[in-house]
Each structure stands twice: as structure tokens, then as C-alpha cells.
Structure 1
Amino acid sequence: MLDLFPKEKIVLPLPDAVFEFYPNFFDKEEADLLLEKILTETPWQQDDITIFGKKIAQPRLTCLFGNEGKPYSYSGITMQPNPWNSTLIFIKDKIEQTAEKNFTTVLANLYRNEKDSNGWHADNEKELGRNPIIASVSFGEVRRFQLKHNTNPEAKMTLNLNHGSLLLMKEGSQIHYKHQIPKETKSKNNRINLTFRSIL
């Protein structure tokens, strides 16, 4: 069906990669409902990750969903996917229409408060291929999302990922950039982030 009123798209002014931001991809009513359903339907877990040879409790809760037989590994963790549910399929279908890309897997992240975070990294695991496209949708509390170029110190940006927003990280994004969700000093409530990806 042709969308006669396409969602606002902002192309981030960053070199060597394509980042597209849709601040109102889901309207507030829809985003409120999806936040509640994902919170209650997801079997959240907290894994230990290995950073610089040390095991620490991951500072957020996670859960993997995806096609059968497609595990995902990062930071010394190998996650086995849960089957897709109707809520995630609804979100996935809508994102795929905009991204013009099919996704096999979604990593759900629950940031419970201002102390939960995700350090500098790229989604460049070998099972994603050399130049993956990542679709990141956010529900709940607004959190800062920081981007920095690997070799160009001038190419950096902080973006507020608001409730119902979609960020498409496209060609070059995982080759030339790292990103993070830093800890905050002010009190924060739940934020859910879904990162859709394609495992080869």
C-alpha cells in the first residue's frame, strides 16, 4: 500500500556511511502499546560479557528472537533465538517496508534505569557479513545515542533516540563508525531498544 504521507526522514550529516533517522516512526499511542507488550512478553535475561579478558554482568537485560537455527555471538556470549511473536513480527514487517531489507533476527535490549548502558562498539560480528544494515527502534525513555568515526575525529554526533523512533544504520555504518548508549546522571525509566539484523 502506498503511503501518501511518508514518515519524516532525517539523513544524518556524517561521512563514509548512511544513517537515516525517523523520529516518529510509530506514533505515541502505538509506541505506548508496543512498549508494554514487549516488556511483558519478553523472557529477559542478564548475561556475563567478557571485556578486556574480564567477565562482568552486562549492564542491561537482553533477549534474542529470530529464525530457527540462527544463533548470534558477541562479547563472549552465544545467544540462541526465541521464536518470533506477533508483536515483533508486526514491528519487523513495518521496518522492512521502509528499509527495503529483510531481517532474520532481533536483539532486544532493556535499559532499566540511568545506570544501564552499552559501551562503544560496532555491530560487525562475522555472521552479519562485512557491511551489515542494522535497524534500531526505540520505545520508552529517551536516551542519548553517540556515534564516532573510527579515523576522523571530526565525524561524531549525539542523537536523542525518542519513544517510537527508528534509526537505520546502512552502508558503511558498521565499518567506519562505533556507537554507544552512555550511562546518565539523571534518573531514567525503562527504555527498550530492538536492533534488527540479518544473520548470513
Structure 2
Amino acid sequence: MLNNQADYQYIPEFLAQSEAEQLFNQLKSSIDWRQDKISVYGKQYPIPRLQAFIADEGITYTYSGLTLYGSGFPDYIQTLKNRISSITNSRFNALLANLYRDGKDHMGWHSDDERELGAAPVIASLSLGAERTFQLRNRRSPKQRIDIELASGSLLIMGPELQQQWQHALPKRLRVSQPRINLTFRYIYNIEQP
């Protein structure tokens, strides 16, 4: 389904609540979460959330002066990746996982338009834990915005044109005290050879 304003599809109950809760707990306890620093205009800043990069071996992903390296998918994430690939009719070889510890953790306005994602990437975003507001704004008309409440177990599929025409953000929500995990599945074209 193509939204009439932006190229996305939102599936609110992609996972049953019990499955979403189990996956959240497994990810929170088994992933090596890190708070990296990114470079913005030559200065280093801690990312306002925790993150992890999981990808096929040999895959690297670089953004904001930070390079991440893949070392393979755990079986339970591989199974989830295959399920999401099937519903989106897209291949994925990487995921960037974000752990928002509470409503203070956030992500600023950006587009996932790095060269290694290709000209028209499809990105599938699975939300677990606390519900948060995901915002889209049109690049040409920044006052044109769309807010989507991302429920636990929901899947947001960002279509090929979304990154070219829109930016997205996850703003602070100080009233949110519970954590949220977001898995963003993507395909990266730069495979490093050993």
C-alpha cells in the first residue's frame, strides 16, 4: 500500500504483543548495545541513544564519520529478517538497532540516503517496547509533516522514494519513561572482501 502523501506502509500488528515482548527482552539482554560518537561539523557528540549494527559478515555501514562492521546474524534475527523480507518483497543484509532508554533518547531529522544504501532503498523498521511518535517532513515543504504513532510489534516499511523526498525523526518525549527498541532492516551494497 502506498500512502497518498509519502511512500510508506504501516502495519500496526506485524507481531503479536506476546511475540513483541519476548523479542524485546531477548534483544535488550543479548545485544551488545553501545553509545558511539558521531562527527557533526568536525565535533564529536555521543549519539542520544544506544545502538548496535548487525549484518552479514563483510558488510560495513558508514554515516556521520562512524563506520560499523557486520559479523553475521544470530539465528533468531535471521528468522525475523526472512519474515520481513517476505512481506516487503525486499532483500536485507543489515540492520541498525536502536535502543531508546526513555523519552530523552531521540533521533534528529535525517534521511537514510547514504551512498551504500543505493539510489532507492527500502527500509523496514520494526518497533518494540514503548510507543513513540515517528515524524516525517517533506524536504521541499518542511511544514508538511506526518506523525505516526509506532506501537510495539508494528512494522513501518519506508518505500524507495521516501528517503529522497522526506526526512524523518524520533523526537524527545519526556513523559515516556519506558524503553523502546527499533530494528531498521536495510540492504547495503558495499561488501568488503577479506
TM-score (norm 1): 0.91
Instruction: Establish whether residue 47 from structure 1 lines up as the match of residue 36 from structure 2.
Output: yes
Q: Give the match for residue 139 of structure 2.
A: 150
- Structure 1, residues 98-124: CA drift from partner, whole Å, max 9, x if none? 100110100110000111001000000
Deviation at 1:159, TM superposition (A): 0.6
Q: Deviations over 1:10-42 (max 9, x none)?
A: 75331xx42000000001011111111111110
Name the residue aligned to 2:167: 178
Q: How many matched pairs?
A: 189
CA deviation after TM superposition for structure 1 residue 82, in Å: 3.3
Instruction: Report the TM-score, using the length of structure 2 for normalisation.
Output: 0.93
Amino acid at match of 2:133: R
CA contact (8 A) 1:37 1:87 kept: no
| Aligned partner of 1:103 among 67, 85, 92 | 92
Supply the RMSD in Å over aligned alpha carbons: 1.3
- The match for 2:3 is 12
**Corresponding residue to 1:64 among 49, 53, 78:** 53
1:128 and 2:128 matched: no
Percent identical pairs in the alignment equals 37
Indicate if the aligned counterparts of 2:130 and 2:176 stay in contact, CA closer than 8 A: no
1:116 aligns with 2:123: no
Could you tell me how far apart the structure 1 residues matched to 2:145 and 2:176 are? 25
Number of the residue aligned with 1:198 = 187
Distance 2:60 2:11 in 1: 29
AA partner of residue 13 (structure 1): N
Unpaired runs of 5+ in structure 1? 1-9
Task: Supply the AA of the counterpart residue of 1:135.
Answer: A
Residues 11 and 21, structure 1, Cα contact 8 Å, conserved in 2: no
The Cα offsets for residues 140-174 of structure 1, whole Å up to 9 and x where unpaired, read as 00011000010024532011111000000012111
SS in 2 for 1:123: coil
After superposition, where does 1:156-167 map in structure 2 within 5 Å? 156-167=145-156
C-alpha contact (below 8 Å) 2:103/2:176 kept by paired residues: yes
1:103 and 1:66 mapped to 2: Cα distance? 9
The one-letter amino acid paired with 2:154 is S
AA at the equivalent of 1:69: G
Which consecutive segments of 4 or more residues in structure 1 shift more than 2 A? 10-13, 152-155
C-alpha displacement at 1:50, in angstroms? 1.4
SS at match of 2:58: coil
